[in-house]
Structure 1
Amino acid sequence: MDFKTLLDNAQNRRSLLKGMGVAAVGLTFTGALAGCGEKEAKKLANGEEGKLNFYNWDTYIGETTIEDFKGASGVDVNMTLFASNDELFAKLKAGNQGYDVIVPSNDFVERMAQADLLMPLDFAQIPNFEKNVAPEFKDVPYDPKRKYSMPYTWLSLGIGYRKSKVKGTPDSWKVLFDSDEYKGRIAVLSEAGDMFRLYGKYLGKSVNALTEADIKTIEAMMIKQKPNIKAFHEDNGQDLLLKGEVDVVLEYNGDIAQAMVEDEDIGFVIPKEGSQLNSDNLCIPKGAPRPKNAHAFINYLLDAEAGKKITETILYPTPNNAAKALMPDDYKNNPVIFPPADILAKCEYAAYNPKLQPMYEEAFTRVRAA
């Protein structure tokens, strides 16, 4: 399959999901549930019922992944959506409501592990990890030895923009954080930690080196900039851009790659000051009612062919070497999906900071209320 066909498929999927109403947070997407009837209540060979509850981000699964897993395992997957890591953490902190697999970002894997919200993984039930995952994702600072998480994607934050509405390439965070040039045509993230860390990048600091004084400085900057902001979006910045509601948006490279499928007037840039890298991960929350099904589902998502189908659909960089090997060269060499090395050298993964995180959240609440 060439990249043009791949992009066409991604576009068709976005239309499919929108038509089903899945793009709205909180709706449910079930695979092959029709006609299950009596079978649904029966136990699988592993002793668990043939169900699994998957709590995921929007537009973040292959078009047929859920149905394919049902066919391979007999397990019905019920997928519901969350809009931010803050929402995911709050939901699990209040008590697991029946989720079997969740998809937190790297710093929240660390945070949830410290809060004793995650179940240690059994590697014997996930053989595709050792077989298929790239070496650099097998032992990571936020989850040493991968005790609690498996890598799903990695991603970078940058600026998505409408080419016909901006002057040149908006290659500085100034466009979003410190300018009225696009007043009323700007959308930024609704996640506190990401926002403060990226402002830190704009100020020339490491995302992991902010101080209490920096938070106060950034809070004042955010309040000053707020009249120019149209929306603090919840994982749908690409849709705001596609609809023409904004001209510049803080968003992940994979989401903008999806939007570029549909509209050639859309571009993406990682600002010259550098950015934050994220990695989204597959975890089993404590209290998961079906941990064996959860392990089987995670192992399935790390399969080469299953990973290829997910990657074809979501267009995010994959940590699955076996899946990447099956993708066309135009995907592997796409600078939006895989930014050049000199750009990535200015980017960092965020670590969870238990002292600063509540300060981020409190300050951001004040910004939103200002």
Structure 2
Amino acid sequence: MTKYNRFSRRSFLAGLGTIAGFSLSGGRVNAAEEKQLNFYNWDTYIGETTLADFKSGSGVEVKMDLFGDNAELFAKLREGNPGYDVIVPTNDFVNRMWKANMLEPLDHTAIPNFKNIAPSFQDAAFDPGRQYSMPYMWGTMGIGYRESKVPSIDSWSAVWGEQSDQYAGRIAWISEPDSMVGMALVSLGYSFNSENPDEIQAAVAQLTRYKKNVKTIAEDNGQDLLASGEVDIAVEWNGDIAQLRSEDPDIKYVIPREGSYYWQDCLCIPKDAPHPQNAHAFINFLLDAEVGRDLAEYIEYATPNEAARLLTNESYRNNPAIFPPNDIIGKLEPSLYLSEERSALIERLWTQILSS
């Protein structure tokens, strides 16, 4: 796992204490379950010592596998759970997965640290009453770029428009079909969640036309390509760019003036999870205030955990790349799951873009 910033291990274990049969943060670990948990997560999306700390307090060994995007996660579990206990889908895929009967309902009594979540995140249109998901991190997608190589940019035209011609061969897109098509829609003045076939086709045509300027379509590692100098511009998640910026101030992040979208990654238990009690205990552990603080400062995405945010350092709490100002938030749309037909259409059109 690639990380750019390294925070020292926090000494919170002694302060929290351990009670037999419970995790560090109060979530019950069932003695009848084997001390294992299988975690399916994004790359660079867990604290440096989080899994070891959970094992120290609960005795549960966590095995973590990585996926590159939501489509890969969905495809992996669509035909049946291969053995995962906790997964981290984005909000629109949470909605898509529970409608497809791919998620287990959560037992809120086993997740008392839900109280730490900010009120604005305690309910969600994509999961009313938080029946199937707990919020993990939230953020935006925009453009990361190397300032010494690229003049200041503020438009999607730099990555799929006329401006991109001057950066040919130095651009990375991200392999996120819904995100890419949605942001192309926004760049043309349409809604990120448009269901209008003509508008969607126009966005696909825009991406297809300027794909010639793209060096690579990255599997969630645009920050690595920026760091190595393989590209100078990358469509990426704000947190991944924030991680890189902490080591390389030449890297900048911008939400284009046309707007973008905001997302919310969530902790869910997939259907037929082999260790559901351990899964609840692990989710509860991640929602602990001090654990959440360490996660937030290490990952550098925006935390929905208000108790954790109050403990974070000022450079994190007041970073506009992590917590955008209100005028920028006003230009953002949430990503929504609208229908299986639209999702299938986007995936089919994305395949056409890749082969063009």
TM-score (norm 1): 0.87
The aligned residue for residue 297 of structure 1 is 282
- Asked if 1:183 is matched to 2:168, the reply is yes
Give the corresponding residue for 2:36: 51
Counterpart of 1:163 (choices 147, 150, 160) is 147
Which residue identity is paired with 1:150? M
Q: CA deviation at 1:45?
A: 4.4
Question: Who is 2:67 aligned against?
Answer: 82
2:292–2:308: 8 Å Cα contact kept in structure 1?
Answer: yes
Superposition pairs for residues 54-203 of structure 1, below 5 Å? 54-129=39-114, 131-167=115-151, 169-179=152-162, 180-203=165-188
Residue 19 of structure 1 is matched in structure 2 by none
Q: 2:5 aligns with which of 6, 11, 14?
A: 11
In 1, the alpha carbon distance for the partners of 2:257 and 2:204 equals: 22
Question: Residues of 1 paired with 2:173 and 2:325: CA distance?
Answer: 24
**Aligned partners of 1:99 and 1:302: how far apart in 2?**
20
Q: CA deviation at 1:94?
A: 2.0
Aligned partners of 1:173, 1:128: CA distance in 2, in Å?
A: 39
Retained in 1: the 8 A contact 2:188–2:203? no
Equivalent-residue separation in structure 2 for 1:227 and 1:343 (angstroms): 30
Post-superposition offset of 1:209: 2.3
Contact in 2 for aligned 1:10/1:312 (Cα 8 Å): no
CA distance in 2, matches of 1:171, 1:61: 30
**1:238 matched to 2:223:** yes
> Which digits, 9 at most, give the CA deviation of each residue in 1:232-273, with x for residues without a partner?
111111111111111111111100000101211100010111
Cα distance in 1 for partners of 2:74, 2:160 equals: 26
Q: Work out whether residues 215 and 363 of structure 1, in 8 Å CA contact, stay in contact via their aligned partners in 2.
A: no
Aligned partner letter, 2:324: P
Query: In the alignment, does 2:259 pair up with 1:265?
Result: no
Quick check: 1:10–1:314 contact (8 Å CA) kept in 2?
Answer: no
- How many aligned positions are there? 331
Unaligned runs of 5+ in 1: 1-8, 14-43
Give SS of 1:348's match.
Answer: strand
- Distance apart, 1:210 and its partner CA: 3.8
The code of the aligned residue for 2:108 comes to F
Q: Distance in 2 between matches of 1:353 and 1:368?
A: 23
Q: Give the secondary structure class of the aligned counterpart of 1:356.
A: helix
- Could you list the per-position Cα deviations for residues 14-47 of structure 1 after superposition, in whole angstroms to 9, with x for gaps in the alignment? xxxxxxxxxxxxxxxxxxxxxxxxxxxxxx7431
Query: 1:280 is matched with which residue?
Result: 265
Deviations 1:123-146 (A, max 9, x none): 0000100x2000000111111110
Distance 1:239 1:215 in 2: 30
Give the match for residue 342 of structure 2: 356
Inter-CA distance 210–165: structure 2 relative to 1 (3 Å threshold):
farther
Name 1:306's counterpart in structure 2: 291
Q: After TM superposition, what 4+ stretches of structure 1 lie above 3 angstroms from structure 2?
A: none
User: 1:200, 1:210 within 8 Å by CA — same for their partners in 2?
Assistant: no
CA distance in 2, matches of 1:342, 1:156: 14
What TM-score, normalized by structure 2, do the two folds share? 0.91
Identity %: 53
| Per-residue CA distance 1:93-147 (angstroms, 9 max, x = gap) | 0211100000000000011011110000000000100x20000001111111101
* 1:263 counterpart SS class: coil
Higher deviation after alignment, 173-182 or 90-99: 173-182
3-state SS of 1:334 partner: coil
Q: Deviations over 1:328-354 (max 9, x none)?
A: 122111111111110011001111021
Report the aligned-residue RMSD: 1.4
Aligned to 1:369: 355
Write the distance in 2 (CA, Å) between the matches of 1:211 and 1:75: 48
SS of corresponding position for 2:200? helix
